């Protein structure tokens, strides 16, 4: 039995790493291979994650790179189809909601190869987000849908997906987080950036809706400048955001006391997150990681596809309203903190459950 798992962009690596580890236990029955589409290609957006997550070098690298949505998706499909025709896998595993996810799921299905989607069922109900389109389409053609939180089961049911295909296994990304928590002690990122525990705000921002327009990005710079009067700010900058700060001439407008860095590796980033006073973000994964760690998270988005982080966790949505964000940050700094719980099955064993299900359903069927 041959399985190919697909990784493309930064948030995919931490989801596939625990699956690879779990499937290795069944190596008598399963050959597990990894295909990297190359959607993300910078060393600090890709290579470092392989090293730190103990992922073997990918068996296949498609070298797709950047481009418009159609270019990126189309190029992945063309190259992945060639690979599938020569490798004949029994199953393709795709994770998350990036362009590589839908491109590979669609290619596999057209060749009558079974598809498993990890992180199925999440919905923001905002079809302007490219990720929402990728999620809906991928779920609609997948054979095995592995769900991270209960809202996913409800959403899939409402979309008419056969319940026999859906499995609530928990969160593979949290498996990775738990597996590196002992390693973060060896990180020296706090010393390197000359910051102290709980004494800084971490900021990450990369969604097109927040960083592609000049006025939105200007608003973010203004917000960070204003917050930097009260707390140190660490701002690891995603390539999309870096390009736009440059393009709109906003880099020079960022206060000097704000620490700007390149994208940061996984272990250092988790160390920063667990030691931050709060995080201001528009990421999907960070909403979950902060909920697991009990770190206060303010999300600059109007919707979230991860409602458990709001209902159970430490996440708060402030929409695209910078003054509301500032108000909420100040409340947290002044001690008004949300106490959260860890959602069901975010226990470090999601990939084990998922592998058992695959083994039972595919090999023994």
Q: Which residues does the annotation mark as catalytic? A: 206
Other beta carbons within 10 angstroms of residue 309's beta carbon come to 26
- Nearer CB in complex with ligand UD1: 67/294: 67
Spatial separation of the C-alpha atoms in residues 205 and 196, rounded to whole Å:
22
Cβ–Cβ under 8 Å, residues 87 and 33 = yes
The residue within the footprint of ligand UD1, chosen from 42, 71, 163, 327 (CB under 6 A), is 42
CB of residue 130 vs ligand UD1: minimum separation in angstroms? 4
- Nearer CB in complex with ligand UD1: 36/238: 238
- Nearer CB in complex with ligand UD1: 130/294: 130
Which helix H or strand E contains 24, and what residues bound it? Answer: helix 10-24
The residue within the footprint of ligand UD1, chosen from 14, 23, 37, 39 (CB under 6 A), is 39
The contact mask relative to ligand UD1 for 99-138 (x = CB under 6 A, - = no) is x------------------------------xx-------
- Nearer CB in complex with ligand UD1: 12/228: 12
95 counts as binding ligand UD1 under rule CB under 6 A: no
- The residues, ordered by sequence, that sit 6+ positions from 286 with a Cβ below 8 Å of its Cβ are 204, 273, 279, 297
Spatial separation of the C-alpha atoms in residues 153 and 166, rounded to whole Å:
7
Contact region with ligand UD1 (CB under 6 A), list: 96-104, 111-119, 120-128, 353-361: 96-104
- Nearer CB in complex with ligand UD1: 69/192: 69
| SS3 label, residue 358 | helix
Ranges within 217-276 binding ligand UD1 (CB under 6 A) = 238-240, 243
The residue within the footprint of ligand UD1, chosen from 24, 66, 111, 198 (CB under 6 A), is 66
Residues 283, 339, 169, 148, CA torsion sign: negative
The residue within the footprint of ligand UD1, chosen from 4, 6, 11, 308 (CB under 6 A), is 11
Spatial separation of the C-alpha atoms in residues 168 and 20, rounded to whole Å:
19
Spatial separation of the C-alpha atoms in residues 28 and 68, rounded to whole Å:
41
12 counts as binding ligand UD1 under rule CB under 6 A: no
CB of residue 229 vs ligand UD1: minimum separation in angstroms? 29
Residue in the block written with tokens 């190029």:
75
Spatial separation of the C-alpha atoms in residues 73 and 296, rounded to whole Å:
35
Tokens of 352: 């084990």
Cβ–Cβ under 8 Å, residues 143 and 173 = no
40 counts as binding ligand UD1 under rule CB under 6 A: yes
Using CB under 6 A as the criterion, which residues of the chain lie in contact with ligand UD1 when the complex forms?
A: 9-11, 39-42, 45, 66, 97-99, 130-131, 206, 238-240, 243
């Amino acid at each position: 039995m041959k399985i190919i798992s697909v990784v493309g962009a930064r948030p995919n690596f931490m989801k596939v790493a625990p699956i690879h580890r779990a499937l290795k236990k069944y190596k008598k029955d399963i050959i597990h291979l990894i295909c990297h589409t190359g959607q993300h290609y910078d060393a600090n957006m890709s290579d470092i994650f392989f090293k730190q997550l103990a992922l073997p070098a990918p068996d296949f690298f498609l070298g797709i790179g950047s481009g418009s949505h159609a270019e990126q998706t189309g190029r992945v499909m063309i190259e992945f189809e060639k690979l599938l025709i020569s490798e004949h896998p029994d199953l393709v595993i795709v994770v998350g909601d990036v362009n590589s996810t839908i491109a590979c799921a669609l290619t596999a299905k057209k060749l009558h190869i079974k598809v498993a989607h990890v992180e199925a069922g999440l919905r923001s109900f905002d079809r302007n987000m490219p990720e929402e389109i990728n999620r809906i389409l991928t779920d609609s053609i997948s054979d095995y849908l592995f769900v991270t939180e209960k809202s996913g089961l409800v959403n899939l049911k409402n979309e008419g997906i056969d319940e026999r295909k859906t499995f609530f296994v928990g969160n593979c990304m949290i498996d990775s987080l738990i597996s590196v928590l002992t390693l973060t002690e060896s990180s020296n990122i706090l010393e390197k950036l000359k910051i102290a525990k709980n004494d800084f705000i971490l900021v990450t921002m990369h969604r097109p809706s927040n960083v592609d327009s000049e006025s939105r990005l200007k608003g973010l710079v203004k917000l960070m400048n204003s917050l930097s009067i009260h707390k140190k700010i660490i701002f690891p900058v995603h390539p999309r955001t870096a390009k736009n700060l440059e393009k709109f001439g906003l880099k020079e407008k960022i206060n000097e006391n704000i620490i700007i860095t390149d994208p940061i590796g996984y272990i250092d980033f988790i160390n920063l997150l667990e030691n931050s006073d709060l995080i201001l973000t528009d990421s999907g994964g960070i909403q979950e990681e902060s909920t697991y760690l009990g770190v206060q998270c303010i999300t600059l988005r109007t919707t979230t596809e991860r409602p458990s982080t709001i209902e159970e966790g430490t996440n708060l949505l402030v929409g695209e309203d910078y003054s509301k964000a500032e108000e909420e940050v100040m409340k947290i700094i002044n001690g008004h903190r949300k106490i959260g719980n860890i959602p069901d099955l975010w226990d470090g064993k999601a990939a084990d459950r998922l592998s058992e299900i695959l083994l039972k359903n595919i090999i023994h069927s």
